[in-house]
């Protein structure tokens, strides 16, 4: 790894900053005052879901090691009179269905979902990425077990109150005057500053910063069959922007692209360079595959790029991430 990268990693590393046992990292920037102040931004009675649809067409992330969600019905309309139809069939399920039907008109629909926790709109927990045998705050890689990750996992965030605070949208695509950034286009820290200035918004300590590249709507344009082209072409933040994220003391970052940073190797030849600096060194959670389209249109219309944002992860014990339905309130 290059000298420049090593120097940056040392500079942005937050290990010990919030105590040797801390597992929340930059979420510590969201103080009680910051959270209370963020809630006051919901003044217009508007709410926006920032989640992409969760189904068999959901994009998976920067590599092919994951499968799309599988959604199965386990009780459906065809089972409305299952008890009657099963009469005499025997077995535990038949007895349950018969008993339910005999005790009133209530019927139910039930379903299952099987999915990687990193598919679709999600948070990466701090344990999701690491290098050289250590995770955030010096936790050894051996904390990842077949029963889950024992430190820096997503349940710690969920138990601590989830993720909520002042959200700020930086609409890079609109600033460049394009529907979406070019494949593998890199967004620098200087450009983030230029967008914020043009939008008249200031980044505060504890903000959850959302960066729009227009790459999610590009998925619909290209079609699911071109998923690999879309996946490998994803634009994103320059790894050197870790310094900007660090110096602004932001709490988390989320984007509408595949992996926050470009999916192809960076100019230093490494993949997921920003993942290493953020998740492992800074303790900064990454949100991927968010749908910022409707929110961005509203922000452009009223000129207000700040809002109250909630994006609580599921409390999956030892989980390395979580699907989410982030909501922005204005
Ligand atoms: C990895 O698999 C590390 O990438 P992502 O966080 O983008 O899903």
- Predicted confidence at residue 52, as pLDDT, reads 95
C-alpha 263 to ligand 1 mean position (Å): 9
Closest to 244 measured CA to CA, from 261, 257, 256, 232: 261
What's the rounded Cα separation, in Å, for the pair 58 and 120? 6
- Predicted confidence at residue 144, as pLDDT, reads 97
Cβ(234) – ligand 1 distance below 6 Å: no
- Residue 87 corresponds to which tokens in the numbers above? 């009469």
pLDDT above 90: percentage of residues in the chain: 78
Helices (H) and strands (E) in the chain, counts: 12, 15
Q: Running DSSP on this structure, what letter comes out for residue 162?
A: -
Confidence of residue 170 (pLDDT cuts 50, 70, 90): very high
Residue to mutate, 257, 272, 284, 324, ligand 1, most ligand atoms under 8 Å from C-beta: 272
Q: Which long-range contacts (CB under 8 A, 24 or more apart) does 203-206 make?
A: 203/168, 203/248, 203/250, 204/34, 204/166, 205/29, 205/34, 205/248, 205/249, 205/250, 206/29, 206/30, 206/31, 206/34, 206/165, 206/166, 206/249, 206/250, 206/251
Contact 135, 285 (CB under 8 A): no
* Structure confidence by residue, pLDDT tens digits, 109-135: 999 999 999 889 999 999 999 999 999
Closest to 110 measured CA to CA, from 68, 53, 72, 70: 72
Q: Where in the chain is the domain with CATH 3.50.30.50?
A: 3-65+116-329
- Residue 254 corresponds to which tokens in the numbers above? 């989320």
C-alpha 62 to ligand 1 mean position (Å): 6
Confidence of residue 268 (pLDDT cuts 50, 70, 90): confident
C-alpha 259 to ligand 1 mean position (Å): 6
Count of residues making up the chain: 330
Contact 37, 205 (CB under 8 A): no
Over residues 132-156, mean pLDDT: 98
Q: Return the CATH fold of 3-65+116-329.
A: Glucose Oxidase; domain 1 (3.50.30)
Confidence of residue 277 (pLDDT cuts 50, 70, 90): very high
* Structure confidence by residue, pLDDT tens digits, 174-189: 999 999 999 999 999 9
Q: H helices of the chain, where?
A: 3-12, 32-39, 82-86, 92-102, 154-159, 172-176, 189-199, 215-222, 227-232, 242-247, 273-275, 293-302
Q: H helices of 223-272, where?
A: 227-232, 242-247
Q: Is the pLDDT of residue 95 over 90?
A: no
Three-state secondary structure string covering 9-59 = HHHHCCCECCECCCCCHHHHHCCHHHHHHHHCCCCCCCEEECCCCCCCCCC
- Predicted confidence at residue 5, as pLDDT, reads 93
Residue to mutate, 59, 117, 121, 259, ligand 1, most ligand atoms under 8 Å from C-beta: 259
* pTM of the shown model: 0.95
- Predicted confidence at residue 242, as pLDDT, reads 98
Mean pLDDT over all residues of the chain?
94
Contact 35, 165 (CB under 8 A): yes
Confidence of residue 265 (pLDDT cuts 50, 70, 90): confident
Q: Is the pLDDT of residue 25 over 90?
A: yes
* Structure confidence by residue, pLDDT tens digits, 31-49: 999 999 999 999 999 999 9
Cβ(124) – ligand 1 distance below 6 Å: yes
Ligand 1: atom nearest CA of 260 is: 7
Say which residue, 238 or 69, is predicted with more confidence.
238
In this structure, which residue's CA is closest to atom 3 in ligand 1? 129
């Amino acid at each position: 790894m290059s000298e420049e990268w090593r120097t940056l990693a040392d500079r942005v590393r937050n290990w010990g900053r919030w105590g040797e046992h801390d597992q929340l990292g930059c979420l510590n920037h969201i103080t009680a005052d910051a959270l209370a102040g963020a809630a006051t931004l919901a003044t217009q009675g508007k709410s926006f879901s920032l989640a992409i649809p969760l189904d068999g067409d959901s994009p998976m992330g920067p590599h092919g090691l994951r499968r799309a969600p599988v959604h199965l019905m386990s009780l459906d309309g065809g089972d409305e009179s299952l008890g009657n139809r099963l009469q005499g069939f025997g077995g535990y399920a038949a007895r349950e269905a018969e008993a339910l039907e005999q005790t009133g008109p209530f019927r139910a629909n039930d379903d299952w979902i099987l999915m990687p926790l990193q598919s679709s709109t999600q948070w990466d927990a701090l344990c999701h990425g690491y290098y050289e045998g250590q995770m955030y705050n010096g936790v050894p890689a051996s904390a990842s077990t077949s029963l889950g990750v024992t430190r820096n996992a997503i349940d710690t965030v969920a138990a601590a109150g989830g993720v909520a605070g002042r959200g700020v949208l930086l609409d890079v695509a609109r600033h460049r005057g394009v529907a979406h950034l070019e494949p593998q286009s890199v967004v620098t820290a200087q450009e983030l500053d230029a967008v914020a200035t043009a939008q008249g918004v200031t980044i505060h300590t504890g903000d959850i910063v959302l960066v729009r590249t227009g790459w999610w709507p590009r998925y619909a344009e290209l079609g699911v069959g071109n998923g690999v082209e879309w996946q490998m072409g994803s634009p994103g933040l320059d790894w050197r922007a870790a310094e900007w994220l660090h110096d602004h003391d932001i709490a988390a970052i989320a984007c509408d692209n595949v992996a926050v940073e470009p999916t192809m190797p960076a100019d230093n030849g490494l993949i997921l360079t920003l993942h290493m600096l953020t998740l492992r060194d800074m303790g900064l959670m990454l949100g991927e595959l968010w749908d910022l389209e409707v929110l961005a249109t509203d922000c452009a219309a009223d000129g207000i790029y700040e809002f109250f944002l909630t994006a609580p992860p599921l409390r999956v014990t030892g989980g390395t991430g979580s699907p989410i339905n982030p909501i922005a309130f204005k």
